[in-house]
Structure 1
Amino acid sequence: MSTLQKSDTPSPALTAVEPRFPTVDRTAFVSAMSGAVTSVNIITTDGQAGLFGVTVSAMASVSADPPMLLVCVNRRSPAREAIDANGVFCVNLLAAHQDSISDVFAGHPREGQAFDFSCAEWEPAATGAARLPDAASTFDCVVHSSHDVGTHTIFVGRVVDVTATQRAPLAHCRRAYCHPATLPTSN
């Protein structure tokens, strides 16, 4: 397992710039960001701290050599502490038909309980985190580092296993789910 590296202090470059430029209004920022088309991902973890999952839109590739990615998890989410303690997480990039699962792990299910894993069929990934076998893709990760920034923690994960299907991914834009038009298939 990797050693976690944390940074709770702002970078010197950020601190030096802040006085010169005002911070944009939160409402304006959130409104503008709603126009970004993002993937819909359920981040899961399991281990000594227990089984947890949370829906996030902030996921991105960091490196292909070695394979690494990042996810941003709200620091108020119990999943944040569990990922930190367990040292592993799995990114389940949802397929177009999985919006109801997203709602469960976003805390507002259409029926049933929030954050209830019984809403879908899961399997254990190599790290023990929960993997959705019919997701568009999954990325099983060991935590490489974490960084607290504002309201969120950025977890950088070293990818230890992946799955990929030809299923169309679920996307989110303007506070609603959307489905990509025809996507090319990979060769």
Structure 2
Amino acid sequence: MSRSYRQALNATVTGVTIVTTRVAGRPFGETVTGLSSLSDEPPLLLVTVTPALATAIQTRGEFAANVLGDHQADLAETFRGVEPTFAARYWWPVSGGGLPRLHGAAARFECEVERVHAAGDHVLVIGAVKRAVRGATMPLAYTRQGYTAPLAA
């Protein structure tokens, strides 16, 4: 089933997001394609992350979901790695221990952890949205094992 399951998933189109948090001055982040709105009232967001990032998010109690712009496929690849580089040119300075935020993102959501659920080899994190900002760029999409920009409406 795994092979046919993955092949069928390749036919879907998803947005690309880097989920970040910061614990004891150290930034954590990874590329995810699992991001979904759960509720408008109250505003709730669902992200699907690895157990390692989930642990950091639970420790901090909050996270940011940076929806990548259509020009940021290189960042998506950078944050697929085990130890991503938080290069200064990509991130806003974080003062007072704030959450890492991405330059040029199509959108950003800052959330407090509402619930966490283990699910297979990933963890579902539900966040109560405290701040949402829409950027000026079109979002990056992922389908058939590659990145693309959605067609403009």
TM-score in terms of structure 1 length: 0.76
| SS of residue paired to 2:57 | helix
1:100 aligns to 2:74 (yes or no): yes
| SS of residue paired to 1:166 | coil
What do residues 23-77 of structure 1 show as CA deviations (whole Å, max 9, x unaligned)?
xx111111111111000000000133831000000000011111110000122xx
Distance of aligned partners of 1:134 and 1:80 in 2 relative to their CA distance in 1, 3 Å threshold: same
Q: 5+ unaligned residues in a row in structure 1: which ranges?
A: 1-24, 109-113
TM superposition shift of 1:166: 3.0
**Bigger strand share:** 2
Note the aligned Cα RMSD (angstroms). Answer: 2.0
Code of the aligned partner of 1:143 = V
Tell me if structure 2 keeps the 8 A contact 1:49–1:85.
Answer: no
Percent identity between the aligned chains? Answer: 33
1:146 aligns to 2:116 (yes or no): yes
Q: Which of residues 53, 57, 77 is equivalent to 1:79?
A: 53
Structure 2 distance, partners of 1:61, 1:26, is 27
Match of 1:8 in 2: none
Match of 1:182 in 2: 152
TM superposition shift of 1:121: 2.7
Q: Which of residues 9, 14, 37 is equivalent to 1:38?
A: 14
Following superposition of structure 1 onto structure 2, how do residues 28-177 of structure 1 map, counting pairs within 5 Å? 28-48=4-24, 50-75=26-51, 78-107=52-81, 114-118=83-87, 120-123=89-92, 124=94, 128-177=98-147
What do residues 105-143 of structure 1 show as CA deviations (whole Å, max 9, x unaligned)?
0118xxxxx500016431249982111131000000110
Structure 2 distance, partners of 1:98, 1:50, is 23
Structure 1 distance, partners of 2:88, 2:12, is 28
Q: How many residues align?
A: 152
Larger Rg: 1
Structure 2 distance, partners of 1:72, 1:63, is 16
| SS of residue paired to 1:84 | helix
Tell me if structure 1 keeps the 8 A contact 2:25–2:97.
Answer: no
Tell me if structure 2 keeps the 8 A contact 1:96–1:170.
Answer: yes
| SS of residue paired to 1:118 | coil
Distance of aligned partners of 1:170 and 1:119 in 2 relative to their CA distance in 1, 3 Å threshold: farther
Structure 2 distance, partners of 1:27, 1:138, is 33
| SS of residue paired to 2:26 | coil
Structure 1 distance, partners of 2:145, 2:152, is 22
Match of 1:22 in 2: none
